[in-house]
Amino acid sequence: MSGYDDDWNISLSAVTDSYPYDYDDVFSGFCSGSEVRQFVQSFVPPFYFIVFLSGFVGNILVVVLYTFYKRMRNMTDVYLLNLAIADLLFLCTLPFWAIDARLDWIFGDYLCKTVKGCYKINFFSCMLLLTCISIDRYIAIVKAIKARTLKNKILLHSKLISLIVWVTAVLLSLPDFCYSSTDDAQKRCRTVYPGMLKAAGFAVQVAIGFFVPFAVMVFCYSTITWKLLQAKSFRKHKAIKVIGTVVSVFVLSQLPYNSIMIVQTMDAINITITDCKTRKNVDFATLITQSIAFLHSCLNPFLYVFLGVRFRQDLLKIMKDIGCVSQKQFRRVIRPHSSFKRSSVHSETDTTWTLSL
């Protein structure tokens, strides 16, 4: 018997598209994948459900606040609402993969195409929206005067840009809708790309999913930091820390997984992994780094919204309305921030107010 045994049919193929692997054509001897299979069954279901629950609570709060308690004041408000919706739709696919990891795919061909396509749509839309947020913050701080004069027009543009982001994400995800299907014999939901389309798909995912957002973040936030260092504000150091946190979390959560994706792309173009142990190590690395990358959907509300003063005030208002916070406590928390905003001459562009909203 050559290649991996039947126990190697790990369900993570549904998400990564790097499985199932044609091991019969690669390995000359028997190679059992039971270790990876056991790891998938024990690690993936609880981890995905934890990510789903924590991310769902944070992002649903953002949607509720923007829907019922806040007006869309600027471009970033529009992007943050769309980002929360994209994160929620992505998180809703995780329970399917968690069950798949434990029981194999039991949801049929239609849901296979739908869930895989929705996963990719929201993956691309999230990354593109993070890019838009970086650009908007650059305009709001570095080009502050121009941004204020074009405020109403910019708000209209943000809605159009958000629509373009969603349309682009849908177009990039069409191959997953077209080429995803179930394997009735082995009960797997998989995407089988024809020819070189698999390598192209990996390349697009790495480019849109990491390199483009990272390049834009580095340019925008480094320019913002330079601008803040020149400003005479006692809050600029806090704003710079916010920038450092946003960039650091993005790099730490996305770089490891995208590095593995580059390896997968090279292997898809020209099969380079011909050793059983190396294949297992790559698979373990893919599982772990992808799980870390998924955490970003939980952290987005905290990085982009919960750090904001206005959002915390609106959250306190919700808690007051449902009786969790008294009127006296609410006023005690709100008053210091209100007085600070009135006393600041540059309240619109001054550090954390603009960065954290």
What one-character DSSP code corresponds to residue 346? T
What one-character DSSP code corresponds to residue 235? T
Alpha helical stretches, state H, 143-235: 144-149, 151-179, 197-206, 212-230
User: For residues 52, 54, 58 and 59, what is the CA-based torsion angle, rounded to 10 degrees?
Assistant: -10
Nearest CA-CA partner of 348 in 189, 148, 214, 180? 148
- Name residue, tokens 């990358």: 293
Strands 3-4 and 30-31: parallel
Residue type (1 letter), 90: F
pTM score, whole prediction:
0.80
**pLDDT score, position 125:** 92
Classify domain 3-356 at the CATH class level.
Answer: mainly alpha
**pLDDT score, position 166:** 95
**pLDDT score, position 189:** 85
Reduced to 3 states, what is the DSSP secondary structure of residue 180? strand
First to last CA, the chain: 61
Can you list the residues of the chain whose pLDDT is less than 70?
Answer: 1-33, 70-73, 146-152, 184-186, 232-237, 268-274, 305-310, 323-357
**pLDDT score, position 313:** 72
Reduced to 3 states, what is the DSSP secondary structure of residue 234? coil
φ/ψ of residue 119, rounded to 5: -60, -50
Q: Is 357 in contact with 308 (CB distance < 8 Å)?
A: yes
Q: Is 99 in contact with 10 (CB distance < 8 Å)?
A: no
**pLDDT score, position 121:** 92
φ/ψ of residue 189, rounded to 5: -100, 115
**pLDDT score, position 270:** 67
User: Which residues have CB under 8 Å from 173's CB, separation 6+?
Assistant: 117, 120, 121, 124
Q: Dihedral of CA 256/174/194/8: which sign?
A: positive
Using alpha carbons only, what angle is made at residue 80 by residues 76 and 81, rounded to the nearest 5 degrees? 120
What is the full DSSP assignment across 191-212? E---TTHHHHHHHHHHIIIIIH
The residue ranges of every structural domain in the chain are: 3-356
CA pair distance 1, 27, nearest whole angstrom: 10
Give the C-alpha distances (Å, rounded to integers) separating 82 from 1, 128, 207, 286, 357.
51, 11, 21, 28, 16
Nearest CA-CA partner of 114 in 92, 84, 98, 144? 92
Give the C-alpha distances (Å, rounded to integers) separating 297 from 22, 213, 220.
32, 15, 22
Give the C-alpha distances (Å, rounded to integers) separating 146 from 136, 161, 219.
12, 19, 19
**pLDDT score, position 219:** 94
Extended beta strands in the chain, E state: 3-4, 30-31, 180-183, 188-191
- The predicted-structure confidence for 168-181, as pLDDT tens digits, reads as follows 999 999 988 988 88
Residue 310 token pair: 């206005």
User: b/e per residue, 159-179, with b = 16+ CB within 10 A?
Assistant: eebbeebbeebeebbebbbeb
Reduced to 3 states, what is the DSSP secondary structure of residue 30? strand
Reduced to 3 states, what is the DSSP secondary structure of residue 59? helix
